[in-house]
Amino acid sequence: MTQQLTESTAANTAAEQPVKRGPGRPRHTDVEPRSYEAVLELFGQHGWDGLTLDAVATHAGIGKSSIYLRWKTKRDLLLDAVRDFETRHVNLADDGQPLRDYLVEYCVARGRLLLGVHGPTMLNIVSAAMANPEDFQEIREECISQGILPVVGRIERAAADGELPPGTDTDLLLDTVEGSLIFHLLVAPRGAGRDELDADLERYVAALVDNALRGVGAQGA
C-alpha cells in the first residue's frame, strides 16, 4: 500500500511540473505585427529588389517557417503591411470645416507621416509602382484608396458647394498640394534635417495651402 501511495505521489508531482521545451527558436504570438514592421523598414531601406522574405524573417527575429506559412510572396506580405499601416493612420473626418482648414490639417498629418520612420517606404511605393506596375497595382490602389480618396472627395464637395470657382481643376489642386509637400519633405530638403522640417511644417503647410487656393481663386483665399 505504501509503495502504491509513493508511486501515485511521484506521478502527480511529475504531472504538476512545467514541461521544459527543447532547444530551438521560441514561438512568437506577434508574428504579423513584427513582420509588418520589418517589411516596411526593409522596403524603405533597400527598395523592391532588395526585399526578400528571408530578410524579413531575419530582421523581425522570427523563424522563416512562420513567414512562409503566412505569405507566399514578398508582394503579399508588403500588401498586408500597407493595409495595416493605413488602418492605423486614419484620415481626417470631413466634419464640415472650411476647405482651407481641412487641407491644412490634412497636409500637416500627411507631412508627419512622411517625416516618420516610414516616409522612405511611402516614397519607394511610388517609385516601385512606376518600375513594377503589375506587382504594385494593388498596393498602389490600397494607398490611394486609404490615403488620397477622402481628400479628393472633400475637394470635389468644395467645388460643388461653391467654395471653389466653377471649372476648378480639382485634380490639379490636389496634385499641387500633395506633390509640393512630398517634394519639400523627401526630395529636396536642401540640407534640413527631419527635426527642422517638422518644426517648420505647420508654417510651410499653411503657406502652401493658401498659395494653392489663391491660385485657383478660392473664396477668402
- List pLDDT tens digits, range 96-147: 899 999 999 999 988 998 888 888 887 788 778 788 787 777 777 776 666 6
Residue 6 lies in a domain: no
pTM (global) more than 0.85: no
CA distance 19 to 9: 18
Q: Which domain holds residue 49?
A: 27-88
183 with 168, same domain?
A: yes
Q: Which positions ≥6 away from 210 have C-beta within 8 Å?
A: 100, 221
Residue 191 corresponds to which cell in the numbers above? 540640407
107 with 183, same domain?
A: yes
Residue 19 lies in a domain: no
Question: pLDDT: is 175 or 218 the higher one?
Answer: 175
Report, as an integer, the average pLDDT of 20-49. 76
71 with 136, same domain?
A: no
Q: Which residue matches cell numbers 501515485?
A: 8
Residue 220 lies in a domain: no
Q: Give 140-179 pLDDT, tens digit per residue.
A: 777 666 667 788 889 999 999 999 999 999 999 999 998 9
44 with 147, same domain?
A: no
The residue out of 59, 88, 117 marking a domain boundary is 88
Residue 7 lies in a domain: no
Residue 15 lies in a domain: no
Backbone torsions φ then ψ of 96, nearest 5 degrees: 90, 5
Residue 210 corresponds to which cell in the numbers above? 493658401
37 with 117, same domain?
A: no
41 with 74, same domain?
A: yes
75 with 168, same domain?
A: no
CATH number at residue 82: 1.10.10.60
The identity of residue 52, as a single letter, is T
Instruction: Give the total number of structural domains in the chain.
Output: 2
Q: Which positions ≥6 away from 190 have C-beta within 8 Å?
A: none
Three-state SS at 49? coil
102 with 186, same domain?
A: yes
The residue out of 37, 66, 88 marking a domain boundary is 88
Residue 9 lies in a domain: no
33 with 135, same domain?
A: no
CATH number at residue 202: 1.10.357.10
Residue 14 lies in a domain: no
